[in-house]
Amino acid sequence: MAQHFSLASCDVVGFDLDHTLCRYNLPESAPLIYNSFAEFLVKEKGYDKELLTVTPEDWDFCCKGLALDLEDGSFIKLADNGTVLRASCGTKMMTPEALAEEHGKKEWKHFMSDTGMACRSGKYYFYDNYFDLPGALLCARVVDSLTKQKSGQKTFDFWKDIVAAIQHNYKMSAFKENCGIYFPEIKRDPGKYLNRCPESVKKWLQQLKKAGKVLLLITSSHSDYCRLLCGYILGNDFPDIFDIVITNALKPGFFSHLPNQRPFRTLENDEEQEALPSLDKPGWYSQGNAVHLYELLKKMTGKPEPKVVYFGDSMHSDIFPARHYRNWETVLILEELRGDRDWKPEESEPVEKRGKYEDPKAKPLNTLSKKWGSFFIDSVSGLENTEDSLIHTWSCKRVSTYSTIAIPSIEAIAELPLDHKFTRFSANNSKTAGYYPHPPLVLLNDAKLKTK
C-alpha cells in the first residue's frame, strides 16, 4: 500500500452526518440526550428521581472507548492487548488493589481478537461516539442508584429499560410525531445544539464536486431529521451538493450484511416506499447496502473499481465496517485530538489519590477525563517510571488499524489542496503517522521515551 493518501486519487467521497459533517454544541446536546433518557426512566419505569439531577462534575465520567458489562454494571477501559487498565462499579472507580484482584493481568472475559470482537453484544456495550456518551453516564448512575437501594446487588437488569428509552426518543416516527424530548427540542431551537458548517467546509465540498468527485451522504438518521440538520448547517441548497443521499442506513449493517443485503427504498414525503432490486441512478434513498451502492458508483465513475473514501466519527458504525467489509479508505473524525495534548503520564494515578475534582464547570466531552485518563494511552499499575509503564488503549489500536487518517474535524483539512499527501497509519507500521495535523502529545512522548 502506498505510504501517502490523497483525496485527489479518490473517485468517490462519502460522509456520515451526525458528528462528522454536522458538529454539535456538546455542552448543550449532551445534557439534552441524557435528559431525554433519564426522564423516560423516571416517569415511565419508576427509577429514582435523583437521576434527573446532574452536576458539572458528573460529566467527567464520560470517556469514549469504555465498555459496559451489562450483567454486573461495571465499566472498563481496555488496553490494546485486552487487559483492563481501569474499571468502575457504576461511577465509583475501582482502586488499583480491587482492579488487580478482579481482573489481574489477564484478558477481559469478553475480549476476542480485534476483528472478532463486536462492539455490541448481549453481554456488553462499547461507547464510541457522542450520541452514546450521555448514556454511559446515565447507566453508571443507574447502577449507583440500584446498588444503594439493594445493598450488595451484584447483577443488574436495567438495559432493557435503556433500550426502551432509546426507542421512545429515536424511533422512526418520533421526529414527525414530536415524540419524546430530543427531536422536539432540536426543532424548537436548532441553533442552540448545532454548529453551522464554516464557509471553508462549504467551499471544500464545492471544490470536490468541481473536481469530478461523486459525493455521498450515508447516515443512520432518518430523512426528516437529516433534512433539518443539512438545511441548518449547509443551507437549503444542500441537495445540490450530494449526488446520493442515503438515510436510515442502519449502519454498520449497511456495510456488513453479506450476502443478505437490505434493499434500497425510495422515499415520498419522508416515508419509505417500495424496495428496489438494484440502485440504478443518483438520488435520495433509505436503507440499502454497500454492494448495490458500489455497482451504481461503477456506472457513475465509469471505472471497474472506483476508489471510495468515507468520513465518519464512529469506529463501530463507520470506520471499522467500511474498511473491514468494503476496503474503503476511511477518515476518522476524532475530536479527542483537540483535547488530549496536555495530559501527562503522572495524571493516570487513581482519582482517589488526586483529590476531588472541583472544577465548577462541566468539561467538554472531547477533553481528558480525570477519572479515566487519556483516550489513547494509560499507565500500567506497578510499572511507573519504566519503559513499559505506558500502554496503548484498545480504542487507540483500532484507530491506527482501521483508519487511513484521523483528524479532529473536516474543517482541519478544508483549506488544504485536494492533492495534499497525508501520511497513512500503515506507513512504516507507525502508530502515529496518520494523525493530522499532529499526533496526540501523549503518543509522541511515549515514542520518545521508548527510543531513549
Question: Which of 419, 322, 435 minimizes the C-alpha distance to 377?
Answer: 435
The C-alpha atoms of residue 250 and residue 203 are separated, in whole angstroms, by 29
Q: Distance (Å, rounded) from C-alpha 203 to C-alpha 169?
A: 35
Neighbours of 277 (CB within 10 A): 9
CA dist., res. 37 & res. 35, Å (int): 5
> Quick check: 14 and 310 in contact, CB under 8 A?
yes
Look at the alpha carbons of 189, 192, 193, 196 in this order and tell me if their dihedral is positive or negative.
positive
Strands (E), 6-73: 12-15, 23-24, 66-69
Q: Are strands 244-247 and 283-287 parallel, antiparallel or unpaired?
A: parallel
Helices (H), 150-289: 159-170, 174-177, 182-188, 190-193, 199-210, 223-234, 253-256
Would you state the pLDDT for residue 362?
55
- pTM for the structure as a whole: 0.91
Which one from 11, 18, 224, 318 is the annotated catalytic residue?
Answer: 18
Nearest to 394 by CA among 18, 123, 89, 107: 107
Give the Cβ contact number of residue 305 at 10 Å: 11
Q: Which residues contact 370 (CB under 8 A, 6 or more apart)?
A: 60, 347, 351, 354, 357
Catalytic residue among 11, 16, 60, 128: 16
pLDDT in tens, the chain (452 residues): 678 999 999 999 999 999 999 999 999 999 999 999 999 999 999 999 999 999 999 999 999 999 999 999 999 999 999 999 999 999 999 998 999 898 888 889 888 765 656 666 788 999 999 999 999 999 999 999 999 887 767 788 999 999 999 999 998 899 999 999 999 999 999 999 999 999 999 999 999 999 999 999 999 999 999 999 999 999 999 999 999 999 999 999 999 877 778 999 999 999 999 999 999 999 999 999 999 999 999 999 999 999 999 999 999 999 999 999 999 999 999 999 986 544 444 333 333 333 333 333 456 777 788 999 999 999 875 444 445 578 999 999 999 999 999 999 999 999 999 999 999 998 666 778 999 999 998 888 766 556 55
Measured between alpha carbons, how far is 244 from 263 in angstroms, rounded to an integer? Answer: 15
Nearest to 247 by CA among 283, 207, 281, 195: 283
Active site residue 114: no
Q: What distance separates the 2 farthest-apart alpha carbons in the chain?
A: 66
Are 84 and 381 in contact, with CB atoms under 8 Å apart?
no
Q: Give the span between the Cα atoms of 281 and 273, in whole angstroms.
A: 16
Count of C-beta atoms within a 10 Å radius of residue 260? 7
**Distance (Å, whole) CA 186 – CA 175:** 10
Q: In the block, which residue shows the cell 476518522?
A: 332
Q: Which residues pair with 331 in a beta bridge?
A: 311, 405
Whole-Å CA distances, 433 to 114, 357, 410, 439: 20, 34, 18, 7
User: How many beta carbons lie within 10 A of that of residue 447, not counting itself?
Assistant: 13
* Gyration radius (Cα) of the chain, Å: 22
CA distance 238 to 227: 9
DSSP summary character for residue 20: T
Measure the CA angle with vertex 242, ends 296 and 252; round to 5°: 65
Alpha-carbon span 261 to 250, nearest angstrom:
11
Residue 422: its H or E element: strand 422-423
**Nearest C-alpha neighbor of 422 from the set 1, 2, 6:** 6
Clarify whether 16 is annotated catalytic.
Answer: yes
Alpha-carbon distance of 107 to 67, in angstroms, equals 14
CA distances from 153 to 67, 89, 291 (A): 20, 11, 47
Handedness of CA 214, 219, 223, 226 (dihedral sign): negative
DSSP secondary structure code for residue 408 in this structure: S
Read off the C-alpha cell for 70: 451489562
Q: What is the structure's pLDDT at 383?
A: 45
